[in-house]
Amino acid sequence: MSEHSTDLRETVRRRYAAAAAQVTEGGTACCGPQAVEVDDNFGGALYAAGEREALPAEAVAASLGCGNPTAVAELNEGERVLDLGSGGGIDVLLSARRVGPTGRAYGLDMTEEMLTLALANAAKAGATNVEFLKGTIEAIPLPANTIDVVISNCVINLSTDKPAVFAETFRVLKPGGRIGVSDVVADDTLTAGQRAERGDYVGCIAGALSFAEYSHGLRSAGFTDIKITPTHSVADSMHSAIVRAVKPVGASASATRDACCEVTACCTQAEEVTDPDTTVSEGKATAGCSCGR
């Protein structure tokens, strides 16, 4: 990862750590937690009143998303769901209710403060079919072919390595699995510079892909049936959008292998060798992999 990318990731981490702290500290007030300050295009107000009322106030207050992915993911009883960048846990808790006791909802976040808040919210909600994982969305700490649905709420635009996010999402999904993501997407006419003029990176604007770039990234990772539907404007020529795609039934995780290391999910707990006749270490050594062994 370049120094610039590392700096951006740290800036994002600090912003969300501060948001978690704000909600946690606000929870000590007599009137409950104070919602993180965002405009009308982001936050808990994008959820139906009935959904908000059924969750801990802290989960709603910590919401910084640009949509409601659980409303469009068409979750079914017994499914396993993964939320990329789960924050205070609002989408994990909603997903857990939809998949029921025979299903499971995972949340992945790199921010310790948000994970602590999410665990507290899960306990308040009495949710027993949830699990929160620490890690990045570019290296998901789950085995291949284990998740039915991947959701995310205005987080992928924050990644500095979106091809890795798409590849990892494809890897962990079961064949036939799907994504239902809310994200910020730019009109194809906007250059990267013009997007940056409309908002900063941590504000979910400067790092947004265009419609064509998003489709290309998903297609390159192996996804099919890609549909990107704008829902509302968040800046001039930039939109909150629902992104749907499917991992083909005949696909396997090997379609997204790391060509350098000859393993999937290189250098994470979930890494697997692509050649079953070798070990992970042997595959890396043969390929001359530069990452840790």
- Per the CB < 8 A criterion, the answer to whether 187 and 196 are in contact is no
The confidence score (pLDDT) of residue 179 equals 97
Task: Count Cβ atoms within 10 A of the Cβ of residue 106 and give its class: 0-12 exposed, 13-18 middle, 19 or more buried.
Answer: buried
The confidence score (pLDDT) of residue 265 equals 54
- pLDDT (tens digit per residue) in 39-59: 555 544 555 555 655 554 555
The confidence score (pLDDT) of residue 245 equals 97
The confidence score (pLDDT) of residue 28 equals 42
Q: Which DSSP string do the residues of 32-58 spell out, in sequence order?
A: -PPPP---TTSSGGGS-HHHHHTS-HH
The confidence score (pLDDT) of residue 201 equals 60
Phi first, then psi: what are they for 152, rounded to 5°? -165, 150
The confidence score (pLDDT) of residue 278 equals 59
- pLDDT (tens digit per residue) in 104-162: 999 999 888 889 888 988 998 899 999 999 999 999 999 999 999 999 988 998 898 99
C-alpha span between 150 and 148 (Å, rounded): 7
Pairing between β-strand 147-153 and β-strand 272-273 as defined by DSSP bridges: unpaired
Helix axes 90-99, 112-125, angle to 10 degrees: 40
The confidence score (pLDDT) of residue 271 equals 60
pLDDT in tens, the chain (293 residues): 555 556 666 666 566 556 655 555 664 433 444 444 445 555 445 555 556 555 545 555 545 556 677 777 789 999 999 999 988 888 899 899 999 999 999 999 988 888 988 898 899 889 999 999 999 999 999 999 999 999 998 899 889 899 999 999 999 999 999 999 989 999 999 998 998 888 766 666 778 999 999 999 999 999 999 999 998 888 899 998 999 999 999 876 544 444 345 556 555 545 665 555 556 665 555 544 444 43
